[in-house]
A and B are shown apart, each in its own frame.
Chain A
Amino acid sequence: MIVVRKVKVKNALGLHTRPAAAIVKLLQPLKSAVSFTYKDETINARSIMSILMLAAKKNSQITITAEGADAELAVRRLVTAFEEEFGEK
């Protein structure tokens, strides 16, 4: 199963180290392959370093693509995390 969803970076500081670490941690128990696409670049969402590489600031549009048995769950959890600004609200 493939799930694709668009999210907006809402927290003031963008996808810096802490949110990136939170994303990787959140995905750890899940099995799906998850990637982020920003501008023309697609990266592995399980890599802090790659997420940082996107240099996505506040209000950036990120496309989440998840593929696997728990893809739906993975995307749902990610969307919530983005919505809640990774606890930085």
Chain B
Amino acid sequence: MGAEREEVVLRGLPISKGIGIGFPVFFSGLDEDVSEGVISKKEIEEEIVRYRFALARSREDVEKLQKASLHEGTPEIVAILGTHLEMMQDPLLTSVMEEKIRVRQQKIETVFFHLIEEYKQRFSILQDIYFQERVRDIVDVSRRILNHLRPFGKVRMSEMPHNSIILAQELVPSETIEASSATVSAFVTAAGGITSHAAIIARAKGIPYVANVDIKMLKRVDLAAIIVDGSQGIVIINPTRQTLKKYSEVKRQHAEKYKLLKSATHLKGETIDGYEIRIFANLENPKEMDLLNKSGAAGVGLFRSEYLFLSNRRFPTEEEQFEIYKRMARSLRGRPLVVRVFDIGGDKKPDLLPEERDASRFGNLGEEMNPALGCRAIRFLLRYPDILETQLRALLCASRFGDIQILLPMVSDLTEIRKVREMIEKIRFDLQKKGVKVAKHIPLGCMIEVPSSALMCDALAKEADFLSIGTNDLVQYVMAADRNNPNTSDLYFSTHPSILRLIRMIVASANSSRKPVVLCGESAADPAMIPILIGLGIREFSVAARHIPLVKHTIRKWRILEACRLAEGALEYVSAPELKRYLAAETAR
């Protein structure tokens, strides 16, 4: 075996650095190999009920979609959805399906899988592209139904075998967050941008990731081992012995270098001339607090609280939230814990279980024409204030166990801060009346990630207790370039002159109001960006815990004066490519 397999090198978009070596796992809802799920006689009726439920939910989905398309006046889509609705009432998907469950005594997923395979086979014999396209409608309908059968049917990211190379059409944040670097060696996807949330998570976890690779083609190839080089954007399938040896060596060197950096991470993030830059950690999963405490972080600069339910598929109760915040605050022993309230929307679509109380509110979220400009983050929370109130109450109750600070995402107008402050004061009053102890001062911060708030930062700096610059979204909104779209990634420059000017402006406003400003975003972990950000006056960064050693290492190589000169020089450049060249020449050391 293996003799006829040939080494093939594929080029993609490098997303997360590092070398991953392992075996392919195709990750998707439908095409995964479904085992012969046999059920007992007693379970048959239960299985049928489960299927009917999923089918009813799917119908509701499509009806909702159809209604939305009706408003937008797209008759083709309305017609296609109409056909999908009829397919869901088709005897083959209703009575015949139930009959098959009874006769074969199999799980519905298995029955489904065989049905789809049958269709695929039939149409692939025809060698007719148009006919093969037809299967898509069936696959689409099936996927919708199967999705409603989850989480029972799907292999979860958290249950991957060791040395898995995940091959997927695309990754969503809630799945990526479940991956463990102990089991998942690398990600390879067809779609995905450098700053998508899935990409950020992959980098934070140190899992190599390459996008823009033809996954469908890979499915047709006989695959043994795979090497993923996330630094170069290369995927090598069926590598020869020499290639394997070479990459194993590179991987070992990487690990050693990281270990070396890590051994110095307890040191301060200090410039050569003694200016201290405080480095905080970003956090998605509260279970990673231990790792964070070992990383030399000055505290949690950004806890992305939405991940509490993105992976659990339901909202945590006030009591559950309280316990989590309390535990986190305690384990930080007085160091700050900045909790960003639920940032929902955009590419962070909540995938709540349909029976969840709040599921209906998200019904139309995914259908927005322009989700990045839609009802997300603080806009969503102010629209459904009970979700925010629950979270704020849990935070206030936990505030006496440490230094809890509250951060508002995607603020685009001053009144949003005022509204939340009013809510906090009201909750504080209610709690204190009940005799609950609440910290005297709970700082309320404002994310600067929307152009309007960057332009109004002087007013926001007076209103808020601290500012937090989120460069990922700020760049996307200032450049009007989708961060997930590979065709606009040329425009998505974190080092665009406009961004540098805005950062300088924000720092100046924060300084004149004597409010702290922290920069969190991918640029904060980029060795080429760090000196210029320091030069622009940033004194606090928040990055993924695993990047802290590198960030500190970079800071320790610079003098504050040099950094300021570098920034001044950079502000002279008026186009992105020129600025990029200048930075590359000046920051290499």
Contacts and interface: CB of A to CB of B under 8 A. Distances in A.
Contact of A47 (B83, B90, B138): B90
Interface stretch (B124-132, B273-281, B491-499): B124-132
Interface in B68-104: 79, 82-83, 86-87, 90-93
A39 to B, nearest CB: 12
A53 B119 contact: yes
B362 interface: no
B114 to A, nearest CB: 13
Interface string A1-34: 0000000000001101110010011000000000
14 contacts: A14-B130, A16-B134, A17-B83, A17-B134, A21-B82, A21-B83, A21-B86, A47-B91, A49-B87, A49-B138, A50-B91, A50-B92, A52-B119, A55-B126
A59 to B, nearest CB: 13
Interface in A43-62: 44, 46-50, 52-53, 55, 57
Interface residues on chain B, size class = 20 to 34
A47 B93 CA distance: 9
B5 to A, nearest CB: 34
Interface of A: 13-14, 16-18, 21, 24-25, 44, 46-50, 52-53, 55, 57
Contacts of B138: 49, 52
Contact of B90 (A13, A14, A49, A55): A49
A49 B131 contact: no
Nearest to B82: A21
B159 interface: no
B83 A57 contact: no
A57 B90 CA distance: 22
Contacts of B43: none
Interface in B121-150: 122-123, 126, 128, 130-131, 134, 137-138
Contact of A55 (B86, B122, B137): B122
Q: Give the interface SS of chain A, mostly helix, strand, loop or mixed.
A: helix
B89 to A, nearest CB: 9
B93 A57 contact: no
A24 B86 contact: yes
A57 B126 contact: yes
Contacts of B90: 24, 47-50
A53 B135 CA distance: 10
Among A25, A44, A47: residue with most chain B CB under 10 A? A47
B130 A16 contact: yes
Contacts of B92: 47, 49-50
B572 to A, nearest CB: 60
Q: Which 9 A-B pairs have the closest CB atoms?
A: A49-B92, A21-B83, A49-B90, A47-B90, A47-B91, A17-B137, A47-B92, A16-B134, A48-B90
A12 B118 CA distance: 24
Contact of B83 (A13, A46, A48, A53): A48
Contacts of A25: 86
A18 B83 contact: yes
B136 to A, nearest CB: 9
A46 B131 contact: no
A57 B131 contact: yes
A49 B93 CA distance: 8
B123 A55 contact: yes
Given A16-B134, A47-B91, A47-B92, 15 more contacts: A16-B131, A17-B134, A24-B90, A44-B91, A46-B91, A48-B87, A49-B87, A49-B92, A49-B93, A50-B92, A52-B134, A53-B122, A55-B126, A55-B131, A57-B131
A71 to B, nearest CB: 19
Contacts of A57: 126, 128, 131
Nearest to A14: B131
A50 B123 CA distance: 13
Nearest to B123: A55
Interface in B161-201: none
A56 B86 CA distance: 20
Contacts of A18: 79, 83
Among B82, B90, B137, B138: residue with most chain A CB under 10 A? B90
B460 to A, nearest CB: 53
B430 to A, nearest CB: 57
Contacts of A49: 87, 90, 92-93, 138
B413 to A, nearest CB: 47
Contacts of B82: 21
Contacts of B123: 55
A16 B131 CA distance: 7
Interface in B30-80: 79
Contacts of B83: 17-18, 21, 48
Contacts of A52: 119, 134, 138
Nearest to B118: A53
A17 B91 CA distance: 16
Nearest to A18: B83
Contacts of A50: 90-92
A16 B119 CA distance: 13
A86 to B, nearest CB: 13
A50 B97 CA distance: 13
A52 B90 CA distance: 12
Contacts of B128: 57
Contact of A48 (B86, B122, B131): B86
A55 B133 CA distance: 12
B367 to A, nearest CB: 23
Contacts of B91: 44, 46-47, 50
Nearest to B95: A47
Nearest to B80: A17
Nearest to B115: A49
B461 to A, nearest CB: 57
Contacts of A24: 86, 90
A13 B122 contact: no
A18 B91 CA distance: 18
Contacts of A47: 90-92
